[in-house]
C-alpha cells in the first residue's frame, strides 16, 4: 500500500491500515513473548506514526521474534496448557496462530 494511504479507514468503526499493521505486529510479539518463552522486546512508543520503512521494520522484528520462538520451543513446552484469553490451549495452538 502506498504510504500516503496508510491512514485509510474503510469505515469509521474500523482501524486504519496503519493501525491494522501495528495490531498484527503487536499480537505476534505478545503471543511469542507471553506464551512461547522468548523475551519481549522493549515496548514501542504508542501514538507515534511510523513511516512505511519503520512499519516494515516493526513487522519484520515481530515476525523474527515468532521465528525465534518457533525455533526454541521444546516438545515438552508445546504440550503445556496455557490460558489464552478465555480459552485453554496448548502452546502448539498458540504457535500455529502466529
Residue 47 resides in a domain = yes
- Higher pLDDT: 35 or 12? It is 12
Domain coverage including residue 26: 3-73
Placement of cell 506464551 in the chain: 35
Q: What is the pLDDT of residues 38-48, one digit of tens each?
A: 787 777 766 77
Question: Is the confidence at residue 95, as pLDDT, over 70?
Answer: no
Residue 89 resides in a domain = no
65, 57 contact by CB (below 8 A):
no
Q: What is the DSSP string of 28-60?
A: HHHHHHHHSS-PPPPPPPTT----HHHHHHHHH
**Predicted local distance difference test score (pLDDT) of residue 73:** 81
The C-alpha angle with vertex 20 and arms to 31 and 83, in degrees rounded to 5, equals 25
- Provide the number of structural domains found in the chain: 1
Please state whether the predicted TM-score (pTM) of the whole model is above 0.85: no
**Predicted local distance difference test score (pLDDT) of residue 1:** 92
Residue 80 resides in a domain = no
Amino acid at each position: 500500500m502506498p504510504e500516503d494511504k496508510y491512514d485509510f479507514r474503510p469505515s469509521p468503526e474500523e482501524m486504519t491500515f496503519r493501525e491494522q499493521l501495528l495490531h498484527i505486529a503487536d499480537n505476534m510479539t505478545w503471543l511469542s513473548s507471553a506464551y512461547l518463552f522468548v523475551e519481549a522486546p522493549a515496548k514501542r512508543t504508542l501514538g507515534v506514526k511510523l513511516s512505511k520503512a519503520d512499519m516494515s521494520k516493526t513487522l519484520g522484528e515481530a515476525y523474527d521474534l515468532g521465528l525465534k520462538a518457533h525455533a526454541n520451543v521444546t516438545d515438552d513446552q508445546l504440550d503445556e496448557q496455557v490460558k489464552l484469553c478465555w480459552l485453554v490451549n496448548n502452546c502448539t495452538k498458540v504457535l500455529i496462530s502466529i
